[in-house]
Structure 1
């Protein structure tokens, strides 16, 4: 296939855009990214670049007419809906309506949003009890990649995109309004399942506005529980979540955002933090892996089970962010698990992201953010230390995407196993940080010093297949989360005896604790300069991330040479 010069026009270089960028590069094409800053700037960048095709994998803004009217360079929108579906709330409606099947459609941009002719479509089964972010990063992203590959294959052929025709029976989608808070509203007298679905459909953004504890908050991160009480009543607190009674059962709510008054801004935080001072009379339920290791509680952010010689510790923190307290709880759980009579410790993520490192929202909310960041980085280092010092052979299960310290946390294990098509960002520099989590020990150990330097300096994503080729992970398992969980446990049982893991077993036996400690100390010296003294603008970058400030320009590292205007182009 001919190598194409493709512009990826996107609102952000998010997970889907990263997957598209990596997939196109691996297919021999030359994608370059343009982040949507302003209409004039986007038009200037794209018109001056000599692109064959523009693909929009994640775009909240309307495509400028100047671009979609181009006679030979089509602009293709990747819409998270079935053929005929239109509107910005496609996934919100699909989850709210409890649909069993949904899809992604690649369509050509025209004047009317999402109404252009169809280039490709791909449908999938919607998992039960799925959150919007999980649906987006899982089946939607997979279907989007199928559509992008199909579009690229059809481009340059005699293919003619199919006009959208609602008279055809196979066109099942319809124009849907943007979902408003009135469409998401519920009463605490409603069933817990219904309320959870409302919250799941608004996961990530914008959340569901509801009355709670005498105030107005946006709700996120809901988990079913069997306890009951007066609807709307706060029944309990556990870790960071609060338990709220519903019409039949109850829901754990893990994260909240206070409704902003004019002139103020708020952001998501653990529910217990937001409601601090209002929980004095609410019972605190303090089960943990150490106190009740085989608990049957429905809500367990950290949980443990055993299978043969394998102890499996699963941690599941919202959006993959780990606060100081999360890390401290995980350290306690690991210390308990390490004392068990097992030979392998399987350390795995939950159903969302594996881990993305320190909790930037909690850091931003602290009275002195730099000091909270300093506490947080030392706490996550302690988690890594527990993995590095385990008597058992430690296996990390990368169940989802991972970035920065979250990926380095996984690399502290002896064996790393990855779920197919997951994404990793093995760098810190773009956040103004040197990095910690023993990365100067674990990353070179996995990929060599030259590659470790390249990865941390280039600040580009890689996928599970590339990580396998580099030696960062040892095996890649099924994409389906349930199948991956079964495969992961089976592989964890095999690492003790399989010859291919002999070298890793010997490496563990010959590990140098003094070198590990030296790496940690040297990293923390640099991180103190970054987090406490703000050497490279971490404070401003953290604030921009938390408050979701729009990017001012496309990072140079994402722009290909062919997309940079030449002097004669500029003068013309």
Structure 2
């Protein structure tokens, strides 16, 4: 296949943009990233780059006229909607209206938003109960990659995109308004399932504004419960979540963002943290793996079950962020699971991100962010320590994307199984951190010292296939989450007898705990400089991340030489 120079124009180098970048490289193309900053700067970068094609996997900004009107190269938008759908709230409406089928469409940028000729489309079944981020990172991402592959193939073949024609019966989508808070509103007297759907449709951004505990908050991370009470009343607290009564049953709300005052910025945090003193007289439901290991509670961020000689510990923390307290709960659960009469310990993620390491929002909100960061990194180190010291053979099931300490947490296991097409970011440097979670032990053990250094310094994503080729991952399972869960448990049950893992079992018998301890101490010495003394501007980077500041430009590591050369030559001519 012909190799193309492709610009990926995006508002952020998010999971989908990373996946597109990785897959295009794997296919032999040369993708270069342009992050949208200011229209004239973006045009300057692209017009003189020599790119064959521009693809926009995740673009919240309008494509400048100078780009879409340039006949030298098409600009293709990846829109998360079926053919004919238009507007910025496509997924919000699809979830709200409980549609059974949805899709992704690749269309050419024109003056009118989402109204251009169609290059490709891919539809999928839309199960009930998915939250927006889960839908976006799962079925939408998969369909988007199908469209991107088709666009590239059609471009090489000289395909001309098909004009959007609303008179055709196959064009079922329509222009939809941007969803407002009035469209998302609910009453606590409504049924719990309806309220959950409202919150699911606003997951990630912007959340649903509602009254709670006498204040106004944006709500996220909703889970159904069978308890009941006075609608709107907070019935209980468990972990980081609060249980709120609805018209029939109730919902656990895991995260909140206080409605800001004029000229104020707020960000989402665990619900219990946000409400704090308002919960003094609310009952605390204190179950845990140790006290109720096989609980039938509906809401269990950490849960456990056994199958044969495998103990399966699942943790599911919102957005993959792990606060000090969450890490402490997970470490306690691991200690309990390690004491069970099992031979394999499977630690796996839930339905969202696997883990992204420490909880930057909780750190930013702390009275002393540096001290909270320091406590958080030691707590997540304790989780890894429990895995590294387990008697059982430890298997990690990487169910979703992972970054920084989340990648290293997975690598603390003896064997790593990953779901197909996930993306890993095995680096800390872009956040101004040296890194911990025993990475100086686990990563070199997996890939060797030289490659470990390269991976942590390059600050580039790694696909599941690349991770397998490098030795970070031992096997890749199905992409479908349900199929992966079944496959994962089956593979965990087989690792004790599978001859492939005989060297792993033998290696475990001679593990050097003294070396492991020295790695932790050396890492924490470095992290102390980063978190307590801020030597690499971790505090600023954390704030930038939490408040979602717009990037100032595209990092050099994401710009290919061919894209940089054209711009440099143009600058030299101008001077």
Give the TM-score normalised by structure 2. Answer: 0.99
SS in 2 for 1:376: helix
Query: Displacement of 1:72 after TM fit?
Result: 2.2
2:378 aligned residue: 378
Deviation at 1:569, TM superposition (A): 2.4
Q: Deviations over 1:424-479 (max 9, x none)?
A: 00000000000000000000000111111110010000111111111101100000
Q: Which residue of 2 aligns with 1:298?
A: 298
The Cα shift of 1:400 comes to 0.5
Tell me by how many angstroms 1:159 deviates: 1.5
Provide Cα deviations, 1:273-297, integer angstroms capped at 9, x if missing partner: 0000101111100000011000000
Matches within 5 A, 1:100-499: 100-499=100-499
CA RMSD of aligned residues (A): 0.7
Counterpart of 2:4 in structure 1 is 4
CA distance, structure 2, for counterparts of residue 418 and residue 130 of structure 1: 21
How far 1:264 moved relative to its partner? 1.2
Distance 1:541 1:569 in 2: 32
- 2:535 is aligned to 535
Find the counterpart in structure 1 of residue 20 from structure 2. Answer: 20
Q: Compared with structure 1, are the counterparts of its residues 169 and 310 closer, same or farther at alpha carbon in structure 2 (3 Å cutoff)? A: same
The equivalent of 1:81 in structure 2 is 81
1:563 maps to which residue?
A: 563
Deviation beyond 6 Å, 4+ runs, structure 1: none
**3-state SS, counterpart of residue 107 of structure 2:** strand
Work out the CA distance in 2 between the residues paired with 1:485 and 1:83. Answer: 33
Q: Distance in 1 between matches of 2:71 and 2:380?
A: 53
State whether residues 435 and 527 of structure 2, in contact with CA within 8 Å, keep that contact through their aligned partners in structure 1.
yes
Cα gap change, 1:328 to 1:160, in 2 (>3 Å) = same
Q: Deviations over 1:492-519 (max 9, x none)?
A: 0000010000011111111100000000
* Structure 2: segments with no counterpart, 5+ residues: none
- Find the aligned partners of 2:158 and 2:89 in 1 and give their Cα distance: 33
Structure 2 distance, partners of 1:553, 1:121, is: 31
Compared CA separation, residues 280 and 175, structure 1 to 2 (3 A)? same
* Partner residue, 2:512: 512
Q: Which runs of 5+ in 1 are unaligned?
A: none
TM-score (norm 1): 0.99
Identify the range of structure 1 (561-570 vs 310-319) with the bigger mean alpha-carbon deviation.
561-570
Distance in structure 2 (CA, Å) of the matches to 1:46 and 1:569? 12
- Give the deviation of 1:158 after TM superposition: 3.3
Distance in 2, matches of 1:13 and 1:73, equals 22
Distance 1:334 1:156 in 2: 52
- The SS at the match of 1:58 is coil
SS in 1 for 2:397: strand
Classify the secondary structure of the residue corresponding to 2:8. strand
How many Å separate the matches in 2 of 1:480 and 1:100? 17
Give per-residue Cα distances to partners, 1:65-92, cap 9 Å, x unaligned.
0000011200000000000000000000
Deviation digits for residues 275-333 of structure 1 (CA, Å, limit 9, x no counterpart): 00101111100000011000000000000000010000000000000000000000110
Q: CA deviation at 1:48?
A: 1.6
